[in-house]
Structure 1
């Protein structure tokens, strides 16, 4: 499998200063091609097939939107990831760019380290998908090896996909690991409970929960930076857009699942978690205001795991809480988080496993929190 640093990028911009800045940012790590207009970019893309294209919008003649549209219409170039990098910062422009098939939208002036990180994540995801496609085509006659290889590739793909949400939300890989282990701890505790054993007595299903948990916030890739990275409280309209990350994640994972022939794919569980981890037992959650047992067990488990980790982690709007305070808020409430938000049986399991949660948090600790 190729590495991101083995990849070739193409920068498309009609301004020499912008090209020089991107060459300074990316040149030390990647081979970089340059095109100064749309027609040249399309020709280079067909003949040289770069691994990723950084595309300006405001260019004379053929603008970046039209270049992207033509790239996605051509079978030879439609799978090349396109990142718009532009001074056009309006939400409608961003929506149009993503609707045309771009994988990301970065506004100028940009932060070079963030640009490098996003490019690396998108390249890693592209390479993982290429590897998965190649393996599916060549390992049909070696069932055992094929299964092992697919599982490894699946894990890489999950981590790459989850890293996209991490990078945009300034989360960390340790948050992903903690969430996985929290959910598995709750599932194992409840596997013999009369209300849950019909679903949780399956080791396979618990493994699917563990694999799927990192993708619970993958939909944040679709939330604009001006909302996702905003410091301070969101407006009502901004919060409504933020809440849509549950829908974005669900729809993207369901679409990905259509390419799989097998039943009970981990993507099905991942889509369910992405869609329902902000639902609340009392019906006060989103996006569908589900109530009680209408909320899938996967969403109920992820809800309490996600809230616990948010409480013990530092955010732009708060300091990290201690384990004891986080447990108190979940079990007693603080005005925003209330006990009746959670399935009472899952809450009871959390209380019994709270020390296990603390040990998981200590094991996968990062700079965003400090437990005692």
Structure 2
């Protein structure tokens, strides 16, 4: 049974009969005696695999039909062979420019018609197969990329949770600070000073790397990390080494891959410099101002806010409004002044994040 459909468009009943009888033994044939009728039939299932289109028709010419076919997404890829009694190069050229795949001059020769029809149907089949193969390949690539993203996310969370097990009071700190950083970055991206650095791609990478900010705590001795009280100056110096320990671990991981990993560049910046201060009084390198990477400045705000509103063995949880007042006093001291303004302008959003990931849900 024929499985390919050909639409014949011609206002001459004799030509419709001739082409119908010639093609019906091999193909499913539909016929239209005008341009409007042809467009109606094209819209009906099954769509034609090939159209034989007469040019000289009353009302709507074949050229007009061809223009409409090529303008519609659902019909633009159907091959069209022009058939006409005109014998002019200009008409042939116009048809080809409009998107016809071939040109047949009347009176039609059956052998030529069959050959051209067969050729263009085979070409269409090849194009359709290629399109399906490409679509399948794109779907497979997308699936594997998604799997890789999931594996990456799970690995990051696992590493961050591993560090968290050394410090049982952090609760949902990882989830909260990641959400703070992402929200703050999106808001800061609307600021003229940060817009160029905080596009959608950069924000996604920064947010992905944020959970690794305290990964270096795995290298801090229990006597310091788990001490139920205020640290001595000597112990505090040991605690501060977690920033460089984490950054060094990430740097070695990058070296082991033998190629750059984009989000780990941000992770390294955050781990190493999220305790730097805008005024240069932070650690480990005493960086100041713009010398502190932007990703680390974002993390600094998120980390301090969460530390203030969270309970610790050496302090209680602070009310958000009290934390806000303390942070506002650090504008231009601890924090980038413009970033702090962005944070304070969206303060309710950050409080909502804290409520979404409460300590007791860890």
- Please say whether Structure 1 and Structure 2 have the same fold, judged by a TM-score greater than 0.5: yes
> Which of 312, 320, 337 in structure 2 is aligned with 1:315?
312
Cα distance per residue 1:148-171 (max 9 Å; x no partner): 111110011001100111110114
1:187 aligns with 2:185: yes
Aligned to 2:353: 360
Matches within 5 A, 1:53-132: none
270 and 173 in structure 1: CA distance in 2 versus 1, 3 angstrom threshold: farther
1:240 aligns with 2:237: yes
Cα distance per residue 1:252-296 (max 9 Å; x no partner): 011112233554521111111000100000000000000000000
Q: How many residues align?
A: 225
Cα distance per residue 1:75-117 (max 9 Å; x no partner): xxxxxxxxxxxxxxxxxxxxxxxxxxxxxxxxxxxxxxxxxxx
CA distance in 2, matches of 1:292, 1:318: 30
CA distance in 2, matches of 1:366, 1:233: 21
Structure 2 unaligned spans of 5+: 1-138
Aligned to 1:351: 344
What value does the CA root-mean-square deviation take over the aligned residues?
A: 2.1
Aligned to 2:206: 209
Deviation at 1:172, TM superposition (A): 4.3
CA distance in 1, matches of 2:231, 2:164: 20
State TM-score, norm by structure 1.
0.58
CA distance in 2, matches of 1:231, 1:368: 22
Secondary structure of 2:172's counterpart equals helix
Secondary structure of 1:169's counterpart equals coil
Aligned to 2:80: none
State TM-score, norm by structure 2.
0.59
Larger radius of gyration: 2
Matches within 5 A, 1:173-322: 174-200=172-198, 202-260=199-257, 263=260, 265-322=262-319
CA distance in 1, matches of 2:277, 2:172: 25
Contact 1:320 1:368 in 2 (8 A): no
Contact 1:313 1:368 in 2 (8 A): no
CA distance in 2, matches of 1:186, 1:224: 33
Cα distance per residue 1:119-143 (max 9 Å; x no partner): xxxxxxxxxxxxxxxxxxxxxx953
CA distance in 2, matches of 1:315, 1:327: 18
Structure 1 unaligned spans of 5+: 1-140
271 and 229 in structure 1: CA distance in 2 versus 1, 3 angstrom threshold: same
Show structure 1 runs of 4+ deviating over 3 A.
259-264
Contact 1:330 1:339 in 2 (8 A): no
CA distance in 2, matches of 1:158, 1:314: 25
> Which of 147, 151, 154 in structure 1 is aligned with 2:152?
154
Deviation at 1:332, TM superposition (A): 2.5
Deviation at 1:173, TM superposition (A): 5.2
Aligned to 1:55: none
> Which of 316, 335, 353 in structure 2 is aligned with 1:342?
335
> Which of 327, 330, 343 in structure 1 is aligned with 2:327?
330
Secondary structure of 1:199's counterpart equals coil
Deviation at 1:188, TM superposition (A): 0.7
318 and 184 in structure 1: CA distance in 2 versus 1, 3 angstrom threshold: same
